[in-house]
Amino acid sequence: MKNWMMGAALAALATASPAFAADVTLQLKWVTQAQFAGYYVAKDKGFYEDEGIDVDILPGGPDISPTQVMAGGGADVTVDWMPSALAAREKGLPLVNIAQPFKSSGMMLTCLKESGIKSPEDFKGKTLGVWFGGNEYPFLSWMSTLGIPTDGSPEGVTVLKQGFNVDPLLQKQASCISTMTYNEYWQIIEAGISPDDLVTFKYEDEGVATLEDGLYVMQDKLEDPDFKAKMVKFVRASMKGWKWAEENPDEAAEIVLDNDMTGAQTEEHQKRMMEEVAKLTAGSNGALDPADYQRTVKVLMNGGSDPVITKEPEGAYTLEITDEALK
């Protein structure tokens, strides 16, 4: 009788549990927005379902570190910038890039023209807004390349730890702030500042661009054939989502808005963001270009006495997943 009751209880628990857990949990680098449209499109259009996988997409935020989520086993794969991922790897968290949907960098410094800044040499003596939490690495490498200290000296720059807004520029607390071509730059414009009153320095144009928004997994998981097979399906469907988003930017933005549970995003902003993001994913089939990887590593190691990474990484990326996904 006791055995029967125990069996009945276990059966009831099984019935109450979800039918199945998500096959793949994806941790985004930031909040739900068009920066991640390809994944939301792939889910909405059934591309993941076509591959036989269920994907759970976890939004990020100011208090969420993708690397920490991965370290704690909270996700199977995360979207992150390569500087942050390589810095974490050197510190002992073995993240591996399995795909690179973003071909180009959208990062730049946006400055008030009235500050007198016309070239990077004019940064000296100025206050510059910089994101932290792993996003500071490209900036620090750039300053090292220029030979400009970040110690607040007259021959250096004063680094203002920038929140995820454009207030330091609007309130003239900084001469320049960090912006993305698809987001914060347009927030400045929407705030009423004319493009004619701004000077922008794109990391791509300055030759110090690093790879952004790649897909990363923990190295030990790649030893599991079943996990690798899931990643092949995930990457293949995700890239199908990205290419669909490039071709249908307005509809992709609408799909993103449908998935924004906060209600914070606006249609106009997301459609503009999707148009700009499409410029960064254009030219990528999902596979990491080793030349782009080497360029990123070179930038990160070119930090004088304080480089972002101190040695050439080993095993930091694999082409096995995309090779199979692209067949």
> What pLDDT is stored for residue 4 in this prediction?
37
φ/ψ (deg, to 5) at 325: -65, -30
> What pLDDT is stored for residue 22 in this prediction?
74
> What pLDDT is stored for residue 138 in this prediction?
86
Give dist(CA 305, CA 27) in Å, integer.
33
Which of 202, 230, 250 finishes a domain? 202
- Within its chain, how far is the Cα of 35 from the centroid? 8
* pLDDT band at residue 312 using 50, 70 and 90 as cut-offs: very high
By C-alpha distance, which of 195, 246, 208 is closest to 108?
Answer: 208
How much is the average pLDDT of 269-297?
Answer: 96
Residue 7 domain-assigned (yes or no)? no
**SS3 category, 65:** coil
* pLDDT band at residue 164 using 50, 70 and 90 as cut-offs: confident
* pLDDT band at residue 5 using 50, 70 and 90 as cut-offs: very low
Cβ proximity of 175 and 128 under 8 Å? yes
Over 90: is that where the pLDDT of 2 sits? Answer: no
How much is the average pLDDT of 43-69?
Answer: 96
Give dist(CA 26, CA 49) in Å, integer.
15
Q: What is the pTM of this model?
A: 0.89
Q: Give the number of domains in the chain.
A: 2
> What pLDDT is stored for residue 305 in this prediction?
60
Give dist(CA 19, CA 129) in Å, integer.
48
Same domain for 92 and 218?
yes
Which of 180, 202, 224 finishes a domain? 202
φ/ψ (deg, to 5) at 233: -65, -40
* pLDDT band at residue 141 using 50, 70 and 90 as cut-offs: confident
How confident is the model over 251-281, as pLDDT tens digits?
Answer: 999 999 999 999 889 999 999 999 999 999 9
**Ramachandran region, residue 301 (left: φ > 0; alpha: ψ -120 to 50; beta: rest):** alpha
Q: Dihedral of CA 94/99/104/105: which sign?
A: negative
* pLDDT band at residue 303 using 50, 70 and 90 as cut-offs: low
**Residue 242 belongs to domain spanning:** 21-103+211-325
Same domain for 198 and 216?
no
Same domain for 88 and 114?
no
